Structure 1
Amino acid sequence: MKLLRYGPAGQEKPGVLDEQGQVRDLSDHVRDFAGDGVSLEALNTLRALDLSQLPLVAEPGRIGACLASVPNFYCIGLNYAKHAAETGMAEPAEPIVFNKATSALSGPNDPVIIPRGAEKADWEVELGVVIGKEALYVSEADALDHVAGYCVINDMSERSFQIERGGQWVKGKSAPTFGPTGPWLVTADEVLDPQNLRVSLMLNGETVQDETTDDMIFTVAQIISHMSQFMKLVPGDIIATGTPSGVGMGMKPQRFLKPGDVMELTIDGLGTQRQETVAAE
């Protein structure tokens, strides 16, 4: 299934794409896509529905983030070999885990706001993993059994906040609109191999990131298993699994976003995002 949320910000309704690519309203069957609403049990209930009998949404309008909210917004740093190389950093021995503020979550086509004081706003297309079943001390072999689905994420970063200021990376990752997510939550049964997906980002029509998830240092299964040794992952948690090479920080000379820039992100089978950057008021 390709699940989505449509409507004005703060008033989104849950929907699903039918076989013809049309949006069908799921409001009578699920309150929203968040927490237990994206548990494996909840998704199995939705699979039993006859989509052709659901109300057709002729003009869905704006598409919101595919999740209404998230208990935790986790990220994995330096997880593509070529990206680690472009930064001049050694490949990590185990996954680098950090957080984004959950308030960074935004729609896939909403404007990205460059925050006040920003100097080095950067783009990062990433494969997002949504947890559908509690995961604690799970093995790598069982890890993917805990996945509800996958989505596109732009793990927006303000490098001066992230690297040049004190403290942890979260400060450079968490501005409002720094977590465009969607357009769809694609259930795990539609993604045969999360390590064989093409991930790309165009900036003002120029392809700057283009790689496959095969370049990941740690696979999705390894990430989930590793994280579950230290914390309990719960339904609705989202994990951004790292970005490939081609970020502005890694370019020579470095290149960063300015108001009016347009980013277009695509992952095989998971849809496309498009954001224009604007300056904070």
Structure 2
Amino acid sequence: MSSTSPLPLLIDCDPGIDDALALLLAAGSPALDIRAVTCVAGNRPVEQTSLNARRVLDLAGADAVPVHAGCARPLTQAEPRSNLVHGADGLGGVALPLRGAVAAGHAIDVLVELLLAAAPGTLRLVALGPLTNLACAELRSPGLLRRAAQIDVMGGAAFCPGNVNPHAEFNFYADPLAAQIVLSAGAQLQLFGLDVTEQARMSDDWIASLAALPGPAAAAAQAMLRAYSGVDPLLHDVCPVAAVFAPELFDSAAHRVAVEWRDREREGRLLVDDAAAAAGDSAIARIVTRANTPALLDTVAQALRRLGA
């Protein structure tokens, strides 16, 4: 990748404070060219997550990036499995102005259209929320996800306990069948689960240091992170975005994986190796297990500084 040819990127997300920071990181990184942002129900209902994504991109000056709302509930549930970790508005009560509008067109249609229009292996796809939109796009157009250069997923807990219950991380728990469909689609996959995101820990001093950065994006990021850090001081969704242009910050290894979606008690559990093979429909994915946290935090701060320049 040359400095004059930013990598084309699709982001599927459910903002969420950590999603918001991931969007700011992407918008502030000259190595990336965000083609579209699609939203799903997750941290909050999809009507809220799509508006939040629009607000964050407007804050970053990325007004030209379209935001599309997608699936309002998981594949096998009547209602979304949302939470209030990020506050009722999903952004910790930090009011961001809404200058643009959520674009017409359902997220599923947009994902299908953009991936089919691009040459295979040219679009990178980052998924930061429940995988409902991606799974539906794959069901709509079988083989679609294999056209992505790579799919970087924030989800799962391979070698550590979950954060919803002992078995599951929130994104995979929110739509376990969708997660299994995506993992078994034959795409190039890299999973950023709790195994690595629990290392991406913010300190109070680092959050305070953002006050020295110029511009409204850094100020808003600091306010959101102060609201969030007391509950979950981890930058989950920053990790897969950073890995797109700074893969040296992470270590990973290939494993055979599947997601439990039939067993109600363990639904959303990421199954690895022998357990995955026994479950059937297993696939190969790279599981990320180490992050260079100081360099990652510095990367985020540099992106915020660029946005304020």
Query: Could you state the TM-score of these two structures normalised by the residue count of structure 1?
Result: 0.30
The structure carrying a bigger helix percent of its residues is 2
Q: Which has the higher contact order (CA 8 A, sep 6+)?
A: 1
Query: Could you state the TM-score of these two structures normalised by the residue count of structure 2?
Result: 0.28
